[in-house]
Amino acid sequence: MKTSFTFDFGKALQSQAQLRLWMVTALVLTFCTLGALYGWLSAPQIAVAVLHVVYALVVYRIQRKTTQMSEGLLFTTAILDAAWVFGWVMVTGPFGILFTPLFNFSTIGYGMRTGSRKVLRVSQGASFLFACLVPVMSPYWASHMIGWGSAILAVVIVPWYAGELTRQFKAAIEFAEQESRAKSELLARVSHELRTPLGGITHAAELLRVEAPSVRSADLSKTILNLSEHLLADINDLLDQSKLTAGKMALSPASHALEGMLEIVRASIEARAQAKGLLFQASIDPRLASQVLVDERWLSRVLINLAGNAVKFTEVGSVSLNLILLSETQTEYVIRFGVHDTGIGISATDQAKIFSPFVQAEDGKRHASEGTGLGLAISQEAVRLMGGALRVASTPGSGSHFWFDLHLEKASSAPALTPSAAPLAPQSIESAPVATGRRILLADDNATNLFLLKELLQQDGHSVVTSTSGAGALATLSHGDRFDLLLLDYNLGDMDGTQVLQIYRMGCAQPAPAFFLTADATLVTERKLSETGARGVLTKPIRIADLRRAISSETPPAARQAESEAQARATPPSSSRHAEDGVNTGKHLRAVSVMYIDPTVIQKLQSLGRSKNFLVEMLSRAKADISRSTEAITAALQHQDAGAARDAAHALKGVCLEIGALRLANVGLAIMRGDDAQLESQSARMRADLRTEAANTLAAIDRILTEQTQIAASF
């Protein structure tokens, strides 16, 4: 029978075998040398010595080959080790008493190394039996029972006492571990609870800042905001530290461009450096062109922490952040991430301590009152998880250099797979793009937060419908109102936000994009939310900059339609392709793709063209097919003939994919996938969507056709 021991257990037994070999060899050499010198070496003694060495060698060889050990071999060696002591006692007469400590040595060794009481008992039992056998077999010890009796007593008492101490020691360790886990959990809970009121404070301060009647009030609210930011950073550190202690820190790598990540870091640090009059430089090796698989959130967090510290502890000079390519293979880069500063530096003694949690260097304490001393501990753990080691070199008074090397796998040339629900990286209020005029459904069971968030959104010109419960949000959504965006609190009291989103998405062909709001920044929640199909997660307290970024990253169907129509009118035919590409110069709206027809597909069709008129003919036919299918779907939906609607949608999807009409193809796909009940209940909405998307697609085809006609005429 095999016991499935862990690797460490096997290793412990390997070292036991090694120690046995060393001890037996030393014992035999000493014994034989003394015996030869004083001339008392006998044949039985030589036989025991040789056989014992052979035994130790054989067990060592067996154990060295494998980190696992069969239970049989384990118990056999535990018994045989006691038997060898017996052998030595038997052949050494009165000197045998000198070998008795070996009984305990082997018993305690087995007990401690394996941590198994069963093994300890077997070894102790064997030692006891062999010790009792000695006076039976040896006439000398039979006549010296008092001396040997004390040896037997030691065989019983010493391992028992050692076992008892070990048990108490283990219990103390377990208690300490439990206490530490409980502390981490408490810390996580407390920081979670702090986030919600902090959200209220931040929102109120944001509002005050906007509505401030005087410059002084605006300044004061800015101070509240700044202090809230610091408080939030500290709470985040505590939360991460508790995750780290509980061993729950994990990475979620995805495909990212390092340049984009560097921009996030720059956005967060540059203003702080400039405010102190420092030169801040961020550079990236131009050979780092491919995207890489990395947890961008953690990598940027580490760099922001290192660069933030560099700015904090530098009064004059510069701070630089560099990404240097050390080597490259077909599949990976080896990159050095380094942060240099010309600041106060760190003494050699402090360099050894600053990576421990809650530790600040003496000079550092004098220079900066803020900070928890957690940043480097968290960064070091994050870098370790990414496969590197965070290092520091520093000269007090001259500056510091923090760096780490990472092997990062190159991502395929596919577009970035940013996790669908990655928390948004922080950005300054000023840098956040401002979209306006969206219809937003906001659901949060905390009335104060709801009120403040609504006010903030309305300040930006959005129209906001609110709900304090999941059921309420669903009721609003079922009225058929169109929303451009849903902002759903994760914890809505009656149900969680993910359920609301699931129910809503099930009953809707073209659901509005959704963001979750949550005060729960734990990894479990983050994972759960990232699997719901939401666009992202906004962690409370929600900053207006993050909110704005989230909103402007989503262009609503209504706005897209209006934008494309406006552009179609305003843009001369020759540049209509740009309108299709989604180049949007609107003042407030970010450049967002409004690709009714994918230009790359059109280019491909052009290059495939066997005749001059190939593309024109193809698009004209597609136009007719799209109109026919759209009518067929509309009629089928009206007459509640789900089968016919799906068939026609299938045909529509096919023709759309041929010419790169991706958006209309998606509408077709949604109808194809709808079950009878959905097609019936959502009939009106689906028809409306279809009508809008088809009209825009046909208009886009017309523009391409006009363009083609003009090109043909110019030849």
Where does this chain bind ligand ADP (CB under 6 A)?
Answer: 305, 309-310, 313, 341, 343-344, 346, 354, 360-361, 364, 371-377, 400
- When the beta carbons of 346 and 456 are compared against ligand ADP, the nearer one is 346
Residue among 280, 284, 279, 289 at smallest CA distance from 262: 284
Q: Which of residues 236 and 561 has its CB atom nearest to ligand ADP in the complex?
A: 236
Q: For 59-72, what is the HEC assignment?
A: HHHHHHHCCCCCHH
* Amino acid at position 310, single letter: A
> How near is the Cβ of 346 to ligand ADP at its closest, in Å?
5
Please count the CA atoms within 13 angstroms of the CA of 118 that sit on its side-chain side: 4
The span from the CA of 266 to the CA of 283, in Å, is 10
C-alpha–C-alpha distance, residues 209 and 467, integer Å = 26
Smaller CB distance to ligand ADP: residue 239 or 648?
Answer: 239
Which residue lies nearer to ligand ADP by CB, 64 or 230? 230
N-terminal to C-terminal alpha carbon distance within the chain: 87
Q: What angle do CA 89, 94, 99 make, to 5 degrees?
A: 40
Nearer to ligand ADP, 320 or 499 (CB): 320
Report residue 698 as tokens: 């046909």
CB nearer ligand ADP, residue 357 or residue 470: 357
DSSP state of 423: B
Task: Return the structure tokens found at 296.
Answer: 């961008």
Query: Least distance in Å: CB of 301 to ligand ADP?
Result: 12
Tokens 């797979």 sit on residue? 417
- Identify which of residues 135 and 343 has a Cβ nearer to ligand ADP in the complex: 343
**CB 308 → ligand ADP: shortest distance, Å?**
8
Least distance between ligand ADP and beta carbon 385 (Å): 17
Tell me how far, at minimum, the Cβ of 71 lies from ligand ADP, in Å.
48
- Min dist. Cβ of residue 277 to ligand ADP (A): 17
118 alpha carbon, distance to own chain's centre: 41
Contact 285, 323 (CB under 8 A): yes
Structural tokens at position 141: 């010890």
Q: How far is the CB of 422 from ligand ADP (least distance, A)?
A: 24
Which is nearer to ligand ADP, 304 or 652 (by Cβ)? 304
The per-residue DSSP string of 138-162 comes to: -HHHHS-HHHHHHHHHHHHHHHHHH
Q: Which is nearer to ligand ADP, 302 or 411 (CB)?
A: 302
CB of 368 to ligand ADP, least distance (A): 7
Give the shortest CB-313-to-ligand ADP separation in angstroms.
3
Which is nearer to ligand ADP, 306 or 592 (by Cβ)? 306
Compare residues 166 and 372 and give the one whose CB is closer to ligand ADP. Answer: 372
Q: For ligand ADP, which residue has the nearest CB?
A: 364
**CA distances (Å), origin 225, targets 64, 198, 427, 543, 635:** 63, 10, 14, 9, 56
CB 553 within 8 Å of CB 438: no
- Let me know: does 234 contact 372? Beta carbons within 8 Å: yes
**Residue 75 region by backbone torsions, left for phi larger than 0, else alpha for psi between -120 and 50, else beta:** alpha
Of 376 and 422, nearer to ligand ADP (C-beta) is: 376
CB-nearer residue toward ligand ADP: 308 or 419: 308
Q: How far is the CB of 306 from ligand ADP (least distance, A)?
A: 7
Residue 229's nearest CA partner among 443, 459, 546 is 546
* Cα dihedral sign, 389-390-395-401: positive
Amino acid (1-letter code) at residue 320: S
Q: How far is the CB of 299 from ligand ADP (least distance, A)?
A: 16
Q: Is 284 helix (H, G, I), strand (E, B) or coil?
A: strand
Contacts of 309 (CB under 8 A, 6+ apart): 375, 376, 402
Instruction: Supply the minimum distance, in Å, between the C-beta of residue 185 and ligand ADP.
Output: 23
Query: CA nearest 114: which of 106, 103, 102, 126?
Result: 106
Minimum CB–partner distance for residue 74 and ligand ADP (Å): 46
Residues 547 and 537: beta-carbon distance below 8 Å: no
Is 298 in a helix, a strand, or coil? helix
Distance of closest approach, residue 366 Cβ to ligand ADP, in angstroms: 9
- As a whole number of angstroms, the distance between CA 364 and CA 521 comes to 29
Query: Rg (Cα) of the chain, in Å, rounded?
Result: 37
Among the listed residues 231, 268, 191, 202, the one whose alpha carbon sits nearest the alpha carbon of residue 542: 202
For ligand ADP, the closer CB: 376 or 690: 376
**In the complex with ligand ADP, which residue's Cβ is closer, 142 or 227?**
227
User: Do the beta carbons of residue 485 and residue 459 sit within 8 Å?
Assistant: no
Quick one: 345 or 536, whose CB is closer to ligand ADP? 345
Please name the residues in contact with 532: beta carbons below 8 A apart, sequence gap of 6 or more.
421, 498, 501, 502, 516
Minimum CB separation from ligand ADP for residue 538, in Å? Answer: 25
Least separation in angstroms between CB 377 and ligand ADP: 6
Contact 436/460 with Cβ under 8 angstroms?
A: yes
Burial of 238: CB neighbours in 10 Å, binned 0-12, 13-18, 19+: buried
